[in-house]
A and B are shown apart, each in its own frame.
Chain A
Amino acid sequence: MKFGRNLYLVVTGIVAFSLFIGGLAQWQSSGTGEGWCFAGYLQRWGSCVLVCYVVAAVGVILLGWYWFSLAGKITSIANYIRQDKLDCIKPGTNAVINTLTEGVKERFDRYIRHITELENQIKDLQIQIQLSQRREKNTEAIIYSIRDAVIVIDEFDKLLMANEAAGTLFGFDFRTSRHKLISELIDADRHKFVELLSHSRQTGGRATRQEIEFFQEGKPRTFDCIISRVYDQAERICGVVAAMHDVTREKEISQMKNDFVSHVSHELKTPLASIMAYSEMLSDGEADDEQTRKEFYSVIQNQAKRLNRLIEDILNVSRIESGLIKINKVPVSLTILIEEQLQMIKSYAEEKNIEIIGQKPIVFDQVYADKDMISQVIVNLLSNAIKYTRPGGSVRIKTEVDEIAGLARVSITDTGVGIPENELGHLFEKFYRVEANKNVAKGTGLGLNLVKQILEKVHNGRVFVESKVGVGSTFGFELPLATREPVEAMLR
């Protein structure tokens, strides 16, 4: 470094000196009135200038050699750096090169340390990203596996996540709808839900719960919406999670239960009202004579029986529905069961002057059945037929066996009042009574429901009805023949 600088100063000084001498000669020539003459110039200063030029030329050559050599070394260092071969750069005699090499190496080491740190940070970030992706996938898997509709939106009401149930409910493809405004994805008729989401996000508190009704496939459905706000670390709301549970069925069941309790209480209170009113009349001495008193006692007795029958029916329906009833299936002949029940109900038919037309016993009509339950079915259908048939009418009983289908079929056809077609579908509902026939006979509206439960729920059978107003009705049932019923069924 020093050598180069000194050489540079010497060469520069010599060149400057020779130029000064030349200039002075020029000045002296012009001062004497003579023109500038190279020959004169050389004559005066020639040897001196020549020495100067030789020295300057040598200096320039040495300086050029020095700079070329320096440039070559720098180029080779640059090549080593480019090829990432820092170890090949050896310290030399040149202080400039050594300083440069050390500086580059230091910088390089610093960069390497920095790069290593950055690489470590990138690895950490990659691990975190993988963990985050795994967590997101887990979250998605959980959300997708939920049967309730789940929607997650950010603080700008844009969709972040939704499961298939939500997509089906709101009619969007949840995989292609990310980052779209929720108001654009949900139909206008469901904007109440969007408003609820926005409102929940804007208001305080952690969660909101509200029932919302939507129309799905033309039917109203009720959803229990739980909307929870999501907070970031700074406790700012950064999104909203909405879970919608379809409670339509629960509401229907609840309504059915309420209706059932209401019906039961009404049905129980009616005979109870008579019992209490008549007993009060007796205790108050309102029945003047013996005949009236007997009449009152008789009413109380009949109403108590009615009450008992009703309670039995309710309990039977309830036991069958809950599966708590004890079922004792044995091979029984339907013809024999019908005959037994006919004997019990014969007097009632005779009282009303109704002819019972039975069928001769057929060879084999055995079914695996609970004898008491099927007897109850037969007596319910027979007594209904007699109840709703006017005096002088008839009730025909028919038993058939369909060996190909493996079924025994019983039909009870009356010449009664008949049932309007629009009411046939409701006949087997609990407490349902045909409006037009309420005055014809009393009933609880539970008998046919019990028939259906016994046949279809307990015996895998089928109940059917055909009717024409003013002509009559046919109620019947089918049960699998004993030969087709698996033996295990008997052991159930």
Chain B
Amino acid sequence: MSGKKVLVVDDEVHIIHVVAIKLRNNGYEVVTADNGAEAFEAALKENPDIVVTDFQMPVMSGLELIEKLRQCDQTRDIPVIMLTARSFAISKEQQESLRIAGCLSKPFSPKELLENIEDILYQKELMVDN
């Protein structure tokens, strides 16, 4: 999956840092943003293959970001993984309606996040091929 672009969104600089290192070490290109609004701008500009976003952020939350991504033609099909310290805050219905590809609870394992990203991008490629 090397060469794929991942947009990492979190207001915790250490989380962005560690996720970025993990992904870069595994051949991914990483773009970062520290709130939903910045992330939406970055998504329009960078056209990432996948978005990894925190749930609770200032200015614009992770859920609001996903809603905005789904409403825009350019970004509606970008898969999103949600990182959250409040796993119960997102219902199954919300996950399905917003097409959230995966949800990881904080504290999370960078290795597990990488595996999730790889699985989702692999499935996306299969769908494109078909």
Query: Which A residue sits closest to B25, measured CB to CB?
Result: A286
Contact present for B86 and A266 (CB under 8 Å): yes
Interface centre among A281, A303, A435 (most CB of B within 10 A): A281
Residues of chain A contacted by B14 (CB below 8 angstroms): 274, 277-278, 299, 303
Judging by beta carbons under 8 Å apart, are A274 and B85 in contact?
A: no
Chain A residues contacting B58 (CB-CB under 8 Å) are: 435, 438-439
A275 within 8 A of B: yes
Q: In the complex where A269-B106, A439-B11 touch, is A277 in contact with B18 (Cβ < 8 A)? A: yes
B110 at interface (Cβ–Cβ under 8 A)?
yes
Chain B residues, Cβ within 8 Å of A438 = 11, 58
Chain B binding surface SS class: loop
User: Which residues of chain B come closer than 8 Å to A299, judged between CB atoms?
Assistant: 14, 17-18
| CA of A438 to CA of B10, assembled, Å | 13
- A273 touching B15, Cβ below 8 Å: yes
Is A362 interfacial (CB 8 A cutoff)? no
Give min CB distance, B53 to chain A, whole Å: 14
> Does A423 touch B at the CB level, under 8 Å?
no
- Chain B residue with the shortest CB-CB distance to A278: B18
Select from chain A the residue with minimum beta-carbon distance to B19. Answer: A277
A258 CB to closest chain B CB (Å) equals: 11
**Binding site secondary structure of chain A:** helix
A284 lies within 8 A of chain B by Cβ: yes
In the bound complex, do residue B22 and residue A286 qualify as a contact, i.e. CB atoms below 8 Å apart?
yes
CB–CB B22/A281 < 8 A? yes
The answer to whether B18 and A265 have CB atoms under 8 Å apart is no
Are A280 and B85 interface neighbours, CB within 8 A? Answer: no
User: A202 interface residue, CB < 8 Å from B?
Assistant: no
B25 with A273: CB separation less than 8 A: no
**B86 CB contacts on chain A under 8 angstroms:** 262, 265-266
What is the 8 Å Cβ interface bit string for chain B, positions 86-101, against chain A (1 contact, 0 not)? 1000000000000000
Contact between A273 and B34, CB atoms less than 8 A apart: no
Contact (A269, B22) CB under 8 Å given A278-B14, A299-B14 = no
For chain B, the count of residues having a C-beta within 8 Å of the partner chain is 23
Size of interface on A: residues with Cβ below 8 Å to B: 23
Interface residues of A in 240-285 (CB under 8 A from B): 262, 265-266, 269-270, 272-278, 280-281, 284
B122 interface residue, CB < 8 Å from A? no
Contact status A274-B12, CB under 8 Å: yes
Q: Which residues of A contact B111 (CB under 8 A)?
A: 280, 284
A314 → B minimal CB distance (Å): 15
Chain A residues with Cβ under 8 A from B110's Cβ? 277, 280-281, 286
Give a binary string over A409-441; 1 marks a CB under 8 Å from any B CB, 0 the rest.
Answer: 000000000000000000000000001001100
Nearest to A299 among chain B residues (CB) is B14
B19 / chain A contacts, CB cutoff of 8 Å: 277
Residues from chain B with a CB closer than 8 A to the CB of A275 are 107
Q: Is B47 an interface residue (CB 8 A)?
A: no
Interface contact A281-B18, CB-CB below 8 Å: yes
B109 & A265 in contact (Cβ 8 Å cutoff): no
Q: Which of B14-38 contact A (CB under 8 A)?
A: 14-15, 17-19, 21-22, 25, 34-35
CB proximity of B4 to chain A, nearest CB, Å: 18
User: In whole angstroms, what is the CA distance A286 to B86 when docked?
Assistant: 28
Q: Does B116 contact A (CB under 8 A)?
A: no
**CB closest chain-A residue, reference B86:** A266
A270 contacts B22, C-beta separation under 8 Å: no
- Interfacial residues of chain B within 109-129, with CB under 8 A of chain A in the complex: 109-111
Q: Mark out the residues of chain A between 40 and 79 whose CB falls within 8 Å of any chain B CB in the assembled complex.
A: none
On chain B, the residues within 8 Å of A276 by CB distance are: 107-109
CB distance from A272 to the nearest CB of B (A): 5
The 8 closest A-B pairs by CB, nearest first: A269-B85, A273-B107, A438-B58, A273-B106, A276-B107, A274-B14, A266-B85, A277-B18
Q: 19 A-B residue contacts at CB 8 Å? A: A269-B85, A270-B12, A272-B107, A273-B12, A273-B106, A273-B108, A274-B14, A274-B15, A276-B107, A277-B18, A277-B108, A278-B18, A280-B111, A281-B22, A286-B21, A286-B25, A303-B14, A435-B58, A439-B11
